[in-house]
Homo-oligomer: A and B are copies of this chain.
Amino acid sequence: MKKIGFIGLGVMGGSIVKHFLKHGYEVFVYNRTQAKAAPYLAIGAKGCATPTEVANASEIIFTMVGFPQDVEEVYFGSHGIFQGDVAGKYLVDLTTSTPSLAQKIFVKGVERFAHVLDAPVSGGDLGAQKGTLTIMVGGIEEDYAALQKEFAVFGKTINYQGVAGSGQHTKMANQIMIAGTMTGMTELLVYANAAGLDVEKVLATVGGGSAANWSLSNYAPRILQGDYTPGFFVKHFVKDLKIALEEAKKLGLDLPATAQAEALYEKLENEGYGNDGTQSLIKLYWPEGIAPVSKK
Contacts and interface: CB of A to CB of B under 8 A. Distances in A.
A1 to B, nearest CB: 27
Give chain A's interface secondary structure class.
helix
A212 B176 CA distance: 12
A129 interface: no
A275 interface: no
A134 interface: yes
A166 interface: yes
A252 B260 CA distance: 20
A157 B15 CA distance: 40
Nearest to A180: B184
A209 interface: yes
A178 to B, nearest CB: 5
A99 B99 CA distance: 47
Contacts of A263: 256
Interface in A120-177: 122-124, 127, 134, 136, 157, 159-162, 166, 169-170, 172-174, 176-177
A11 interface: no
B194 A173 contact: no
Nearest to A179: B184
Contact of A211 (B159, B166, B181, B254): B181
Interface of A: 99, 122-124, 127, 134, 136, 157, 159-162, 166, 169-170, 172-174, 176-188, 190-192, 194-198, 201-202, 204-206, 208-216, 218, 244, 247-248, 251-258, 260-261, 263-264, 285
